[in-house]
Each structure stands twice: as structure tokens, then as C-alpha cells.
Amino acid sequence: MDSTALFKFSSGLYIVSATDGERTGACIINTGLQLTSEPLQVEVVVNKKNYTCDVIKEAGHFALSVVSERADMPFIGTFGFKCSADIDKFSGLPTETTDMFDPYTTENTCAVISCAVAQAIDVGTHVIFVGEVTDARNLSDDAPMTYSYYHTVLRGKTPPKASAFVPGEDATKGARPAKAAGPLHHFRCMVCGYVHETPDEELPADFKCPLCGFGPEKFERID
Ligand SMILES: Cc1cc2nc3c(=O)[nH]c(=O)nc-3n(C[C@H](O)[C@H](O)[C@H](O)COP(=O)(O)O)c2cc1C
């Protein structure tokens, strides 16, 4: 079986976020979808190991923001490769709240949909949350980012907790041209796809990926 066939599925990139009064969780997903129009329902698929999953369960509601093409890798890295237990992902970003009091950022997003959880379906590693839409707002005229744009333009990778993760995935293979022979070397983060350029032969032991925070053991030399 060639699992990379599933890369051809079309989807968008979203931030699902929730607060239960004590905790706030937010993460990138590519599994947001409109389910029905009457009642107006959407769904999100969230890994049980993501902090955000427990927060949504406890809260009983969530915000689904549509990421726009304005978003860069540091923005996606914060929401898609870091854990809400360790950092406040909204820190430094213009943040508002939905009618359900869930936080969302107006930066790099073009719409937000507020939902009350109507069903939580256990599908093994992930939970499908069906949300009844209680409010929806357009935030900008920027184009919504597709999952394909994320792979091909931003050279982004998919972490293991995403539904679309494929072990050994290299959707970015060949996408970033290596420089011609010269004094610089390139190291690619196998977690998020970030490429670091340096004249050094090796990365220093205390080097940290600026996007996902992993150390040199997660980098492969690509030139
Ligand atoms: C492109 C991309 C797509 C992702 N899709 C999903 C998804 O559909 N469902 C999911 O649970 N996690 C997905 N993730 C992974 C979460 O965003 C990631 O595990 C995040 O660090 C979880 O944060 P949290 O622990 O604060 O909830 C995706 C990440 C990226 C970068």
C-alpha cells in the first residue's frame, strides 16, 4: 500500500481551541469539516494525546478558526508542534473570545466558528467532536490555507499526532532546492521540516529548532 496516496486528499488548516475555565488548549488540525446545514454542524478530529482534546471534552465547546495563507511556519509551529501545557499559544497575538468564551486569534486567520459539542465519538487514537455551530464570523478576506499549500509552499511536515500522519512521510521531498557546492551546509528538522543553513559541519549540542523546539538529534543533513 502506498500511504502517500492520502496526501492527495484536499483539506484546509485550522486552529481548534477551547477553554474549560481553568485550562486553555489550542492546536492546528487539518480535519475540520462541515457535516450538515440543518442543524449547522461541523466536526474536528483530535488526538487523545493532544492537551486540547481533554480541554474540549471538559469544556463542551470549541472555536474552529480557519488559518489563512498569511500564516508562516513559526505561527503554525507554535500551534502545531508545541503543547498548550507548556506555553500560552496566544501570547503576543491579538486574541478575542467567542460567544462560548473560547479564545481565538485574529492574526493569520480568516474566519472563526463557535461550536457546542453535540457528540464526541471515540475512534481509537482520536476523538471526533461534532459541534453544533452557535456563531460564525469572517475575520479577513485572505485566502484560506489548504493542506497542500502547507506542504508545497511552506514545506511543512505533519507531526505524529495528526490524523494525516504517515510514518516516513516526506511530502516535502525535493521541494527545497539544495544550494550549489559552497561553504554552507543545510540541516532539515525531521519533525517540522525547518531547514537550517550553517557553515558548520555539525549542529551544536544545544541547538534547538526555532519552530518545534527539538534538538540536533531530530535533524538530518541534506547537503
Ligand atoms: C499540518 C498539521 C496538521 C495537524 N492535524 C491534526 C489533526 O487533524 N488532529 C490532531 O489532533 N492534531 C493535528 N496536528 C497536531 C497538533 O496540532 C499537535 O500535536 C499540537 O502540538 C497539539 O497541541 P496541544 O497539545 O496543545 O493540544 C496537526 C499538526 C500539523 C502541523
pLDDT digits (tens, 9 = 90+) for 128-145: 999 999 999 999 999 999
What's the confidence (pLDDT) of residue 178? 38
Residues 97 and 198 in one domain: no
Residues 148 and 83 in one domain: yes
How far apart (Å, rounded) are the C-alpha atoms in residues 115 and 42? Answer: 8
pTM here?
0.84
Mutate to test the pocket of ligand 1, among 28, 91, 121, 125 (most ligand atoms within 8 A of CB): 28
The reply to whether ligand 1 has any atom less than 6 angstroms from the CB of 161 is: yes
Expressed as residue numbers, the domain containing 191 is 185-221
What's the confidence (pLDDT) of residue 169? 57
Atom 19 (ligand 1) nearest CA: 161
The reply to whether ligand 1 has any atom less than 6 angstroms from the CB of 114 is: no
What's the confidence (pLDDT) of residue 135? 98
| pLDDT tops 80 at residue 17 | yes
Residues 135 and 214 in one domain: no
pLDDT category, 197, cuts 50, 70, 90? confident
Say which CATH number the domain at 42 has: 2.30.110.10
What's the confidence (pLDDT) of residue 177? 40
How far apart (Å, rounded) are the C-alpha atoms in residues 91 and 12? Answer: 24
Cell readout for 49 is 494525546
The reply to whether ligand 1 has any atom less than 6 angstroms from the CB of 17 is: no
The reply to whether ligand 1 has any atom less than 6 angstroms from the CB of 211 is: no
State how far the alpha carbon of 166 is from the alpha carbons of 1, 158, 202, in Å: 12, 8, 28
